[in-house]
Structure 1
Amino acid sequence: MMKFWSKASALGMAMVISACGQESSEQLATQPTSSAAEFELPIPISNNAVALAEGPDGPTLYSFNGLKSGKGWQDTSNAAFACIISIKDCEEIASVPVDEGRLASSAVTLAGKIYLFGGYTVAEDGDEVSTPEVFAFDPETQEYQRLADMPTPVDDMVALPYRGRYIYLVSGWHDEGNVSLVQLYDAEFDTWSIATEFPGKPVFGHAGGIANHSMIITDGVAVAGLVDGKRKFAAAPFAWRGDIDPGDPERITWRAIDAHPGGSQYRMAAMGDGDRGMILFAGGGDNPYNFDGIGYDGVPAKPTDRVFGYDLKADRWAELGKLAEPSMDHRALVKSGDDYYIMGGMDADQAVTARIMKFRIDD
């Protein structure tokens, strides 16, 4: 994740498919188109939790929390925004009801409501704390409801919806280190349980999605030991597939799969698309970084313009195209109709942006 002092004191492409370590190329039958959307967020914001839900005026993109353009500890935000797709208009809405801004929180839409999880705060002295709060946001009333706290507060985790009732929180950072936990929230009863532990190296800033009964978790940052008493962080270029027992959502059968081609990426925008039977990934940074976009090794992170996916039925990766512009520092990818959206983030100069990008993969 982006822990401050506590961690650091397009078109015309060929599809590349990788299975069992082998790569081959196939010409894309249809090619993705990407562009900047015709509307922007009211302010530049990055590392924001995003979701899509049916608002009073139709399908609406929502953004919660995140980092403003100053990129300092004081620029953490609890602001929220709603962007109505049909009229291409964004406005500020009621802020998340917390006293301090949050970074690396996650949002998931379930049965018409948006569930907002965790994040972390940054104090002036660099102290960082993972926060336990869970809220349900109602797009119709624009009101927040406080729900049962996370048993283990995490941030920079992957949050995945399942069967219109459950939400998985996979791995992530808790105060002083990464955890292997898979925490399972039951929205029907506002209760928590623990699902089968994530078997990979615990990470933060990873990405993933869920479709039908399967999830893909890839990349992220692991603790790679201590140097002069300080944690050293390294990219974790791995990928895992988790298949959920349809009769018991707490039971997940995990297996390692090939890492995706092109090298590990940090904080990609990702989601599962059940209609395609695919988990999609877009953007991301090439070097694990603090929340200012500068790598833990002192090298500025550079964003990618890649769009790729994992075909669950074929059990292989597919290279799908390019974004209109490289982008990084994302929490999720969202979809409305045939269009996929990325909200905010950082550009090639590690500058926080208000840009909204969209792309489409035609059948």
Structure 2
Amino acid sequence: MRGLGGKYLASLFALLTLGACGQETAEQPLSATAEFSLPVPMTNNAVAMAGENPVLYSFNGLKSGKSWQDTSHAAFACVISTKSCEEIASVPVSEGRLASAAVTVADKIYIFGGYSVAENGDELSTPELFAYDPDTGEYSRLSDMPTPVDDMVALPYQDRYIYLVSGWHDEGNVALVQLYDTRTDTWRMATEFPGKPVFGHAGGLAGNSMIITDGVAVAGLVDGKRKFVAAPFAWRGDIDPNDPARITWRAVDAHPGGPLYRMAATGDDDRGLILFAGGGDKPYNFDGIGFDGVPASPTDRIFGYDLNADQWIELGKLAKPSMDHRGLVKSGSDYYIIGGMNADQAVTAQIMKFRIDD
């Protein structure tokens, strides 16, 4: 087991004061801490946004104790307009879940898998798929993943389909691309991911194209234990609009600055941009300590892949370095990072936001 573990140059503009600190800054930040936060610190949580009056959601994750007992299936809703957060009904599973994913399609939030951790450290990839209805506050159990995965990339397409790209399954990474149809509650396999199978990678989808980058690969055994290494690669997948299961993959340049683990990422259809923010400088156990025993450090980078120009662009910096994310959420012109770990590997309740100019 893994163990506990541009075509255009965009610039970030200053946002509001650092409301969580109640102080104004002498220099305007490139991003800001939002004026509300999660009720409790949470990291490795699945995040989504839904509603005409936009609400940010957090599902599952790890609480501040960072032990197997701190895995959580709690859920929270944060109303942007009122800058308020509250706990909502938990995900209906008996144990906490780490490294799950949440995706909004047609006004419902789909929550995929994750893994559970036993007292002895054993980890199990879980198969469950739930749909959460923001209007009723209820969860519905749907068809299980054919191959249970966690720490995968989950991407919505055409407001109907959801791709699960690579990820970890119980004893190792898989190269599968599993395709879920929200209208028929059915699964099928899409064109397999051609890169080295990974977990903790990041990606986004805009138009008919996705970018998948970084993550952690297994590089053989050392003293009978798996050796985990960062995977400095990037792949572009172009979807056949007439058949969502057909993806033409090709390798693209790795992003500058070296690979990062568990970045916050999303696709922006309006800009033809796949956006990445934060992430750890090395692979690590879920307590934030690297597999090499050295604590991981978060980055404050924000960058993206311009699909039209077919190149990486640097976009700015976060107000604070942050890592251990399962998604980046966009509402209006603002992007949000919900929870995560800070520079001391401490779990945080903070919500950060930033915006990019055209």
TM-score by length of 2: 0.94
Match of 1:22 in 2: none
CA deviation after TM superposition for structure 1 residue 3, in Å: 3.4
CA deviation after TM superposition for structure 1 residue 29, in Å: 6.3
40, 47, 64: which one aligns with 1:43 = 40
* Counterpart code for 1:31: L
CA distance in 2, matches of 1:42, 1:329: 18
CA distance in 2, matches of 1:142, 1:326: 33
CA distance in 2, matches of 1:248, 1:287: 37
CA distance in 1, matches of 2:135, 2:205: 26
Q: How does 1:242-261 map to 2 (within 5 A)?
A: 242-261=237-256
CA distance in 2, matches of 1:297, 1:73: 20
300, 304, 322: which one aligns with 1:305 = 300
**What SS does the corresponding residue of 1:356 show, helix, strand or coil?**
strand
Asked if 1:217 corresponds to 2:236, the answer is no
CA distance in 2, matches of 1:142, 1:4: 34
CA distance in 1, matches of 2:305, 2:244: 22
Match of 1:67 in 2: 62
Q: How does 1:1-363 map to 2 (within 5 A)?
A: 3-4=2-3, 28=9, 30-32=11-13, 33-54=30-51, 58-363=53-358
CA distance in 2, matches of 1:29, 1:353: 28
CA deviation after TM superposition for structure 1 residue 362, in Å: 1.6
Check whether the contact 1:117–1:132 (CA below 8 A) recurs between aligned residues.
yes
* Counterpart code for 1:36: T
**What SS does the corresponding residue of 1:272 show, helix, strand or coil?**
strand
What is the aligned residue count? 342
Cα deviation code 1:274-312 (max 9, x no counterpart): 001000000000010000000000010000000000000
CA distance in 2, matches of 1:39, 1:362: 24
CA distance in 2, matches of 1:274, 1:108: 15
Check whether the contact 1:4–1:122 (CA below 8 A) recurs between aligned residues.
no
CA distance in 1, matches of 2:81, 2:246: 40
Q: 1:72 to 1:272 in 2, by over 3 A?
A: same
Structure 1 residues not aligned, in runs of 5+: 9-16, 20-25
CA distance in 2, matches of 1:127, 1:34: 39
CA distance in 1, matches of 2:69, 2:202: 27
Check whether the contact 2:12–2:31 (CA below 8 A) recurs between aligned residues.
no
CA distance in 1, matches of 2:12, 2:120: 48
* Counterpart code for 1:130: S
Check whether the contact 1:268–1:284 (CA below 8 A) recurs between aligned residues.
yes
TM-score by length of 1: 0.92
